[in-house]
Structure 1
């Protein structure tokens, strides 16, 4: 019978990649071979530290010892609500991250206090930045300071960032390479603010507006007017009517549309009305409806029959309805 010692290095590395960071490091104490494998930079391409609230000393150790030029994505969090003695992410640590990890492209921060961290401290190589329940300095999203920060940014996720509002949304034009924007629970953004901001964000190709106070009708009207080149749209259906759905006809490049509950209203369009609108979009290939109470076969049959060129997905919302991007 084969034992772990009989497995080739490539297989062991693949197994180790599924271990949490703490357990991954512990395996290095088993034998010299496993220590060598744990030191392999391939194993440290994607690192998730959200399971732990680590002291800055430990984070510095991980950065110096393991995370290097192979690191492509990093998830960290848990630094905001752990008490007054909780460790904080410092500008020095984030600057060191950019220096030590020149290929880091995705940074995902959860429940972190970044109010004293300037945007210029973040690694300039980032193409994706996700902020989940974070406190950040709103100077990040104003046009004046640090205009050259994050020159490669293409995707920005703002999930329950409480202070984010209209003027910060307009300030996103400072990121000329931005192509994907997710607004989740940004309740201070108004319909007027969204409409005026999208005038300067016409280069967006993906937009998600989920769990906000904006009505779906107003969002679609703004998108249809200013984002004619958008490829993907995902939004909560609160306030969606057949009249608002007509705005989709002004999106000839749309390839993927997701309408998500659970805020379904009596004015919600019927499956037949959705089919009629989708037929006006020649490039549409994916239609996803989640949490609309249409999980029965009849609605899916009507949609699939009416849209043979599309992949139609009808499903319930996940248990964690606040997890916008599942």
Structure 2
């Protein structure tokens, strides 16, 4: 069996890419070849630091020594708790990311306290911003507050951000490059706020609304009124009826539709209603149903027969989505 030293650099780099950052750095001390490989730009394009909380000193070292201009996407996590021994995300670190990492396009923050981090300190090169279980300042996304911030932002994910509300949703309208919006468990957003915001976000091409407090019917009605060019929809079906689904009839650009819930039953929708609605969408190519209580194989057979031009996907509800109903 070949030893690791016999493998070409490309395969060794692929193996190193699956290792935590701490282990990568330790490997650089093994030999000159591994040090050279750990320094390779390819290895530091996508960095995941959610597995452990890095002390500020280590974060600054990584930024200067390894990431810098190589970095394209970064995941950080575990900075929500307060205390003298807990590392905190600071405005200085966010500004340094923008200055030293000119190619950074995606930033994912998990469990981070951003209440003292102004949105203006985030890297202006970001195209994707994901906030998962984060605290944000009330002034972060208010309409008209910072009209020139994040000019390239195309996708924003707001997953269980408790402070996020209608005012913040309306503030997203100044991101003229925004094409993808994901709302997950944003329980302070109302049906009225969603409808008013989508009216100004008519250029969205992807919308996901998961585990929010308003009904699926109201979401689909708002989408049909304001997002005629939307290509991908994913939503939980709480409060979904045949009337709500019929709001999508004739959507001219819709390519992918995903209906998701812990339990989808025939009392909510019939297969005939789903097929009838989908046949009116000229570009629909993917139909996904998650959380079925039906006979999956039989349902898939009927839907495939009724929608021959669609890829039909039937699957259980993802575990991470279940959290929104607990």
Please state which band the TM-score falls in when normalised by the shorter chain.
Answer: over 0.9
Separation of aligned partners in 1, 2:272 and 2:70: 50
Aligned equivalent of 2:170: 170
Aligned equivalent of 1:103: 103
SS at match of 1:69: helix
Q: TM-score when scaled to structure 1? A: 0.96
Separation of aligned partners in 1, 2:320 and 2:203: 31
Superposed, 1:1-326 pairs within 5 Å as 1-81=1-81, 83=83, 85-262=85-262, 264=264, 267-322=267-322
The CA deviation string for residues 230-268 of structure 1, in whole angstroms up to 9 with x for no partner, is: 000000000000011111115211000000011547751
Separation of aligned partners in 2, 1:263 and 1:136: 32
Maintained 8 Å contact 1:231/1:255: yes
Maintained 8 Å contact 1:241/1:267: no
Once the two structures are TM-superposed, the CA of residue 323 in structure 1 deviates from its matched residue by 7.4
Once the two structures are TM-superposed, the CA of residue 83 in structure 1 deviates from its matched residue by 4.5
Q: What stretches of structure 1 of length at least 5 have no aligned partner?
A: none
Once the two structures are TM-superposed, the CA of residue 23 in structure 1 deviates from its matched residue by 1.1
Q: TM-score when scaled to structure 2? A: 0.96
Once the two structures are TM-superposed, the CA of residue 217 in structure 1 deviates from its matched residue by 0.3
SS at match of 1:139: coil
Q: What stretches of structure 2 of length at least 5 have no aligned partner?
A: none
Separation of aligned partners in 2, 1:322 and 1:96: 37
Count of residue pairs the alignment pairs up: 324
SS at match of 1:102: coil
The CA deviation string for residues 52-77 of structure 1, in whole angstroms up to 9 with x for no partner, is: 11111110011011002121100001
Q: For structure 1, which segment, 295-304 or 81-90, has the greater mean C-alpha deviation from structure 2 after superposition?
A: 81-90
Maintained 8 Å contact 1:287/1:310: yes
Maintained 8 Å contact 1:272/1:302: no
The CA deviation string for residues 133-167 of structure 1, in whole angstroms up to 9 with x for no partner, is: 00011322112222111000000000000011111
SS at match of 1:208: strand
Maintained 8 Å contact 2:120/2:149: yes
Stretches (4+) displaced over 3 A: 82-85, 263-267
Alignment CA distance shift 1:20-1:247 (3 Å): same
